[in-house]
Each structure stands twice: as C-alpha cells, then as structure tokens.
Amino acid sequence: MEFNFYSPEEEINFAPITSHGVRLFMKRDDLIHPFISGNKWRKLKYNLIHASVTQKKRLVSFGGAYSNHILALAAAGAKFGFKTTAFIRGEEVSNPVLEFCKLFGMQLIFVSRDAYRDKQNCFNHYFEGDNETFFIDEGGYGQAAAQGCREIIDELNHTYDAIFCAAGTGATAAGIINALAEKNLATKMNVISALKGDGFLKAEIDRLLVKPHTYELFSQYHFGGYAKTNAELLQFIQRFATETGVLLDPVYTGKTLFAIQDYVSNGYLKPGSKILMVHTGGLFGILGMLDRFKDLYR
Ligand SMILES: *Cc1c(COP(=O)(O)O)cnc(C)c1O
C-alpha cells in the first residue's frame, strides 16, 4: 500500500491573527486527497493496513449523512481494493456526499437513530460470522486513528509554541498529544471542540493517550452546536478564503481558526510566537451549507 501524499506546512498571513505579532502556520492536510481528506486519511491508514494484513475484503463503518469519514472510507476502499459499507444514521436521504459515496461503490444502509446507537448490533445484523469484514468505529475513532495522526507531528519542520486542532471524536487530537508527549515538546496543545455538550470528549481523548499529558480543551466555539453556524462565522470563512486562498469548512476548521483569532486577540501568546493550525480538511462539509453562504452576498 502506497501512502505517499503532499501536506505542506505553510506560513499564512492573515491580519486578524498576524497583526498581533504572532506567526501563523498551517499543516495543509486538506491537500492530501480531494475525498480522503485531511485527518480522515491519517485515521484510516493503520485501519487499512490492519485490514489488509488480516485479509479482510470489506470495510464497514458508521456516520451521519454528511460524514467526511464515510466519504473518505468510500474513496479509500475503492483506492486500496476493499468493498465498503456504511451505516448511515436516520431515514434514507440523498445529498452530494452520499452520491459521491455511491460513485465510489459504497453500499449504504440507512438505520433509525435508535438502532444506530447500538453499532455492534447493526454490524452483527448484517455481518455476523463474516470474517472478511473489518469494523471501523464511527468517525474512525480508535487506537489506529491516533497512531496515524501522531505522524502529523513527526512530519513538522518547525517547532511551535502552540498547536490548534479541531475535534469531533478526539482521535486526531489524541494522536498529536501522544507525539508531543513522546518527543517531550513544550508546545501547548489546544483542542477546539466542534460539539456542544462535549462532556465525554475529554474522556475519549484521554482513553487514547499513551501517557498523561496536559492540553487545553476549548468548548465555547461550537456556534450553537455541531454543524451549526452563523453569519459571523461564515463571514470570517469568506474573508479568510478571499485573503489567503485557503478554504475552511464551517463545521470544524472555520471554528478552529476563529478560536485562534480569539486566543491571539486576548494576548495569550507573546509577540514572535509561532502557531500551527492543523487543517484537518473536510471541505465537503461546505456542500451542505452553500445556501447559507449565498445570504452573505445579498
Ligand atoms: C472528522 C473531522 C475532524 C474531527 O476529527 P476527530 O479525530 O474525530 O476529532 C476535524 N476536522 C475535520 C475537517 C474533520 O472532517
């Protein structure tokens, strides 16, 4: 399996942040692959390797109707020679993300919100006793995902005073924290939750840590909840795209950069400090929200 890809570490000049005298860099994981985007590639990597070594033929996972993870799984399965099945939460719908999944040959099984809660049961119902299928948890969460994401830090050319990364399941953050801990780096890790009521997120991150390590979890940048947004956030994303040529999604990375701006404006970093934002990709999230951007141009 060939996992070579391109994810440069770019310095970005964006006045709302850099006018405070700090330097902003981005780890451009959004450029890894158009569909196996950002952290989803990294989270799948060791799952794909395990599945291949154990001679599995089909990858099975779980997600919502706009899941970046499911889209990544569909494209990765096709690329690396696996069949794929996804259990999608809620009644049957069609949207651009799911249509792309089908284009990559993925089988979609829609399950009620109630049934979806018991993932093992969903899996068993269709695949019990089938030892050629490989179970991947919702959002790709797990030890293998964290293992893939720690490589973000291994690839860096600079050292940073602070790193910022979005979190859904927390596996990406855990991988980064593990790398910082093992390399004894003084870099402060800041995790921006995309969820409202993320009471379990800290526990989910901690469950994947190889040893305890401090990090900060920011819970106040969800803009009303998961995948919720408002005009202020959309305007911020639009300004950033216009001034830097880098797109952010409204679900994760837009909120993360917004948090960075807030953090820097509050003077938490000395002038001259270097910040890294991990661009976790997920730009297909915009597809569900293009209508909202239209309102900006009226
Ligand atoms: C899935 C996703 C995340 C969340 O990653 P976790 O490892 O689940 O915390 C962050 N950013 C983007 C763009 C994503 O698609």
Tell me if 168 is assigned to some domain. Answer: yes
pLDDT of 288 above 90? no
Ligand 1 atom, smallest distance to 69 CA = 1
242-268 pLDDT, tens digit each: 999 999 999 999 999 999 999 999 999
Q: Which of 105, 140, 175 is the last residue of a domain?
A: 140
Task: Return the closest-CA partner of residue 21 out of 259, 266, 272, 257.
Answer: 272
Rounded Cα gap, residues 234 and 238, in angstroms: 6
Give the pLDDT mean for 191-198: 94
Tell me if 186 is assigned to some domain. Answer: yes
Could you tell me if 166 and 261 lie in one domain? Answer: yes
Could you tell me if 266 and 167 lie in one domain? Answer: yes
Give the mutation target among 62, 190, 280 for probing the ligand 1 site: most ligand atoms within 8 A of CB: 280
Q: What is the CATH number of the domain that holds 195?
A: 3.40.50.1100
Rounded Cα gap, residues 218 and 122, in angstroms: 33
Could you tell me if 57 and 93 lie in one domain? Answer: yes
Q: Which residue's alpha carbon is at the smallest distance from atom 13 of ligand 1?
A: 282
113-122 pLDDT, tens digit each: 999 999 999 9
Give yes or no for a contact between 198 and 204, defined as CB atoms under 8 angstroms apart.
no
Could you tell me if 67 and 56 lie in one domain? Answer: yes
Cα 255 to ligand 1 centre (Å): 12
Q: Which residue's alpha carbon is at the smallest distance from atom 14 of ligand 1?
A: 282
Ligand 1 atom, smallest distance to 167 CA = 9
- Look at residue 289 in the predicted model and tell me its pLDDT: 82
Q: What percent of the chain has pLDDT over 90?
A: 92
pLDDT of 287 above 80? no
Beta strand 274-279 with 162-167: parallel, antiparallel or unpaired? parallel
Q: Which residue has the tokens 């730009």?
A: 283
Residues with CB under 6 A from ligand 1: 38-39, 68-69, 139, 166-173, 249, 252-253, 280-282
pLDDT confidence of 186, banded at 50, 70, 90?
A: very high
Could you tell me if 163 and 107 lie in one domain? Answer: no
Ligand 1 atom, smallest distance to 166 CA = 10
Q: Which of 140, 165, 194 is the last residue of a domain?
A: 140
Could you tell me if 21 and 87 lie in one domain? Answer: no
Cα 194 to ligand 1 centre (Å): 9
- Look at residue 295 in the predicted model and tell me its pLDDT: 82
Rounded Cα gap, residues 157 and 247, in angstroms: 23
The tally of domains found in the chain comes to 2
18/291: higher pLDDT: 18
Q: Would you say the pTM of this structure is higher than 0.95?
A: yes
Ligand 1 atom, smallest distance to 174 CA = 7
125/297: higher pLDDT: 125
Give the mutation target among 46, 68, 284 for probing the ligand 1 site: most ligand atoms within 8 A of CB: 68
Rounded Cα gap, residues 27 and 187, in angstroms: 15
For residue 150 the two structure tokens come to: 């720690």
Q: Which residue's alpha carbon is at the smallest distance from atom 15 of ligand 1?
A: 282
Cα 173 to ligand 1 centre (Å): 9
Cα 288 to ligand 1 centre (Å): 16
Task: Return the closest-CA partner of residue 139 out of 275, 286, 267, 251.
Answer: 251
What residues are labeled active site?
Answer: 67
Angle between helices 231-244 and 253-265 (to 10 degrees): 90
Tell me if 2 is assigned to some domain. Answer: no
Domain assignment of residue 280, given as a range: 9-34+141-297
Cα 282 to ligand 1 centre (Å): 7
84-99 pLDDT, tens digit each: 999 999 999 999 999 9
29-87 pLDDT, tens digit each: 999 999 998 999 999 999 999 999 999 999 999 999 999 999 999 999 999 999 999 99
Could you tell me if 197 and 112 lie in one domain? Answer: no
Could you tell me if 53 and 90 lie in one domain? Answer: yes
81: β partners: none
203-239 pLDDT, tens digit each: 999 999 999 999 999 999 999 999 999 999 999 999 9
Ligand 1 atom, smallest distance to 140 CA = 8
Cα 43 to ligand 1 centre (Å): 9
Q: Which residue has the tokens 């404006």?
A: 265
Could you tell me if 110 and 168 lie in one domain? Answer: no
Could you tell me if 29 and 172 lie in one domain? Answer: yes
- Look at residue 292 in the predicted model and tell me its pLDDT: 84
- Look at residue 149 in the predicted model and tell me its pLDDT: 98
DSSP the chain: --------EEEE--HHHHTTT-EEEEEEGGGS-SSS-THHHHHHHHHHHHHHHTT--EEEEEE-TT-HHHHHHHHHHHHHT-EEEEEEESS----HHHHHHHHTT-EEEEE-HHHHH-HHHHHHHHHTT-TTEEE--GGG-SHHHHHHHTHHHHT-SS--SEEEEEESSSHHHHHHHHHHHHTT--PEEEEEE-SSS-TTHHHHHHHT-SS----EEE-S-STTSTT---HHHHHHHHHHHHHHS----TTTHHHHHHHHHHHHHTT-S-TT-EEEEEE---GGGGGGGHHHHHGGG-
Give the pLDDT mean for 153-181: 98
Tell me if 4 is assigned to some domain. Answer: no
- Look at residue 269 in the predicted model and tell me its pLDDT: 93
